[in-house]
Structure 1
Amino acid sequence: MKNFLSMIAIAMPMFLGAQTAFHNFGEVKLHSDASVGFHTDLVNDGNLDNNNEGIAGFYSDNEIRSISGANRAVFNDVEIDVINDIELYTSLGVTNDLSFINGKVFTSRDNSNTSLDFINHNVYAGEDDQRHVDGYVSVTGSSTFSFPIGDDNSLRPMILTTQGTASTFKGAYFAINPNNTPYDYDTTQKQIFIDNVSNTEFWDLDGDVETRITLTWDNNSDISNISSNVNLLRVVGWSESEGKWIDLGRTGVNGDVGTGQITSNAFTPNDFTVITIGSEFSNNSLDNVNLIFTPNGDPTNETLIFEGLEQYNGNSLTIFNRWGNVVYEAIDYKNNWRGESTGRATINKKNDLPVGTYFYSLDIDTDNGSKTQRGWVYIHR
């Protein structure tokens, strides 16, 4: 058994309600053989930095523990054995290992600046539905990392892929309908190839480096309400600037409607307010979508755009005039048609087509076969 120095009310105690707290105003340094046990709250207004070694533990059988103060407290190894949980009012940093023994770690969901920070992408153990971070976790490093995050009594990790360079990401899980106030991430506002978006949960992921992310689901996720076929699931992100859900793709999926996980294509987290699980349309069920674009030389709406098309393996586009003649064809269309005629039956190729209504057929290649979307497009110059 470890020999702990118990911080019950030593050095400079202060009172928080009826509890005492260890209040650090100066500099505390833990060496490699140091073992410190906090059986009280910690207030850090001094220096507890990432040069600490040894182990620090937080313990209580019946009280809520808290960490607060002006500065982040950083320890090497950390044990959390607080049956009634520990609350962070300032961030707690871990440079080596963390052990979840009892209780959850709570951070504010309204302020992502306070978090449990894994500073060197190192390991943790013991996480489950009763032992995880209910709030924000940050990680700095380049290795694969699974965020030990959840909401209430549900652990719902998301997993970062290996990074090319050391990077910092921060995330939290919300078991909340994204349509609900104050969030209002309207799941009916989405790109045309997205069929459904989860109305039970979402994740917040922050970071300015492109990455892939793996999201998990369980029975509480109600995946069957999104799609009965997990191979149609997609990762989607809410774009505040566009006011809609954007398709972030799928590079892998496994599991069933009860439990599983899905990995996105590469994206930059800070481009999206939150992310969650959505689905693509099943074969032969794409809605007819009618489009308008204005290739008139101004900076906006110059080309025919199918939002999210770049997330799919390939495509072919054919556009007809009202007599059924092909006026444009493309393999692997790049959202770059400006309304010019290039069809086989066109006499003056590359000439701008006149204002009017045309009809399109778009074949999309997916992991589950080809899908076709049809509709009309109006050219307005």
Structure 2
Amino acid sequence: MKKYTYILLFLFTATISAQTALYNNGNFRIHEGGQIGFHTDLINDAPTDNNLGLAGFYGTEQLTVSGNVTPQFYDMEIALENNMQLDLGMDNTNNTNFIFGSIRTPLSDSDIFYNFVDVSFYSGENDFSKIEGYAAITNQQSFVFPIGDVQFLRPLILNSESINLFAKSAYFYENPNNPTSLPDTYNTATTDLDVELVNTFEFWKLEGTVSSTVTLSWNERSTVTSLTENVDEIIPVGWSKASQQWVNLIGSVPVGTLTEGFVTTAAFVPDDYEIITLGSSEDPFEPLSRDVLFIDNFFISVNGDGINDNFFIEELQDFDSNFLQIYDRYGLKVFEKTDYVDEFVGFSNLNNIPFGAEKGLPTGVYFYTIYIPEDDLNYQGFLYLSR
């Protein structure tokens, strides 16, 4: 049976600063299979919950969502050349598809955020399409916040010990000593004994009440060479609310090089810290003393031509056992295997990729780590995946 969209609302076109807007002061519902496209600003002063269809925001102009009632959409997609500006929050209950353009919220107002509710997820995020501002989750345990600034996607990976009733995060390409978007300052010279230096170029803000581990990544713009010339000394650090200083949050050995990599924290409660970023440890620092050896970088071309179709490391045949893990460039684990031989062919074997996993992992750079138990050896390197 054909499905239709029924819209029950009072709408009219208003002129605000010479731009038209769709004004909702009634109630509307998008039924299953229905679609509605917004090509103008939305002023929302009435409920938009219980939607099951698709709401799309399209066009060449910046669209603004404002009003007094937070709109809620089931499936949402954005294809805007000049982005979407949220002047109030927005809830998504199923899928957000980033086609082009970003969702922007004010970094100076953490009460305005894009909220992924319950099982909500997203797809298509990249440097040109993401959330520039605050993203939030409701009733989710693990999540990759698709946040960044105008230039780069700079996600934060959250793995919590239990379900978060609510948590939110934002990325700031600002100096924590004197941030332009926050009222307080966080002196990078005030550090705990095992913290040598703190990054002065970027930081993340994370709010939540559940003990969690967090993975932070860096790129060339992060300028970690200003912190250290030794990748093993890169650590995650947080500004402690209790001690009013930067403290070491290290939980894993850093993976990558001085221009690209990631590191994961030990478990901590986000609300115990104002902001978090990257730093360097005092040398020597025992948890980072484990040797990590680099072996070859690899090119994987999974196009079925019989050449480089899988990830094969000849040296692994010399050992009785191994444990291999593959991560994307932001630190999201996409594959792991004990006693690995050549099983990776460009697909994830984990359940943390909610959308498009059947199509395979996207083209790009990935990190791999290998642990050899019999000799207590750790290896890491890069692979480039092509399709």
- Count of aligned positions: 285
> Separation in 2 of the partners of 1:139 and 1:30?
23
Structure 2 counterpart of 1:118? 116
| Aligned 8 A contact 2:160 2:211 in 1 | no
1:39 counterpart residue number: 39
What letter is aligned with 2:209? D
Is 2:142–2:158's contact at 8 Å kept on the other side of the alignment?
A: yes
Identity %: 35
Q: Displacement, 1:252? A: 4.3
- DSSP-derived class of the 1:366 partner: helix
- Structure 1: gaps (5+ residues): 284-363, 371-381
Residue 261 (structure 1) aligned with residue 182 (structure 2): no
Structure-2 separation of matches of 1:24 and 1:154: 34
Cα distance between partner residues in 2 of 1:279 and 1:365: 13
Counterpart for residue 129 of structure 1: 127
Q: TM-score, normalised by structure 2?
A: 0.69
Aligned to 1:238: 239
Letter in 1 for 2:263: I
Residues 100 and 257 (structure 1), Cα distance of their counterparts in 2 relative to 1, 3 Å cut: same
**What SS does structure 1 have at the residue aligned with 2:274?**
coil
Q: For the structure 1 residues 369 and 160, does the alpha-carbon distance in structure 2 shift closer, same or farther, using more than 3 Å as the test?
A: closer
Whether the aligned pair in 1 keeps the contact of 2:164 and 2:210 (CA below 8 Å) is no
Look up the equivalent residue of 1:94 and give its one-letter code: N
| CA displacement, residues 205-237 of structure 1 (integer Å, 9 cap, x when unaligned) | 011111111111100001111122222222111
User: Residues 227, 130 of structure 1: CA spacing in aligned structure 2 closer, same or farther, 3 A cutoff?
Assistant: same
Counterpart amino acid of residue 75 in structure 1: F
Q: What is the TM-score when the length of structure 1 is the normalising length?
A: 0.70
- The amino acid across from 2:265 in the alignment is S
Q: Contact 1:4 / 1:36 at 8 angstroms: preserved in 2?
A: no
Map 1:288-307 to 2 at 5 A. none
Sort the Cα spacing of 1:252 and 1:118 in 2 relative to 1 into closer, same or farther, 3 A: farther
Cα displacement (A) at 1:29: 1.3
What letter corresponds to residue 167 of structure 1 in structure 2?
Answer: L
1:368 paired to 2:289: yes
- Secondary structure in structure 2 of the residue aligned to 1:139: strand
- 1:318-367 deviations in whole A, cap 9, x for unaligned? xxxxxxxxxxxxxxxxxxxxxxxxxxxxxxxxxxxxxxxxxxxxxx7424
Shift in Å, 1:242: 2.5
1:249 aligns with 2:170: no
Distance verdict in 2 for CA 1:4–1:274, change over 3 Å: farther
Pairing 1:24–2:24 present: yes
Who is 1:331 aligned against?
none
- Rg bigger for which structure? 1
1:41 Cα shift?
A: 0.8
Q: Which runs of 4+ in 1 moved over 6 A?
A: none
CA-atom RMSD in angstroms: 2.3
How far apart, CA to CA, are the structure 2 residues paired with 1:4 and 1:40? Answer: 22
SS in 1 for 2:37: strand
Counterparts of 1:128 and 1:281, CA distance in 2: 35
Query: Whole-Å Cα distance in 2 between the matches of residues 146 and 170 of structure 1?
Result: 11
Asked whether the equivalents of residues 57 and 79 of structure 1 are also in contact (C-alpha less than 8 Å), the reply is yes
Q: CA deviation at 1:143?
A: 4.2
Give the drift of 1:122: 2.6
CA distance in 1, matches of 2:91, 2:253: 32
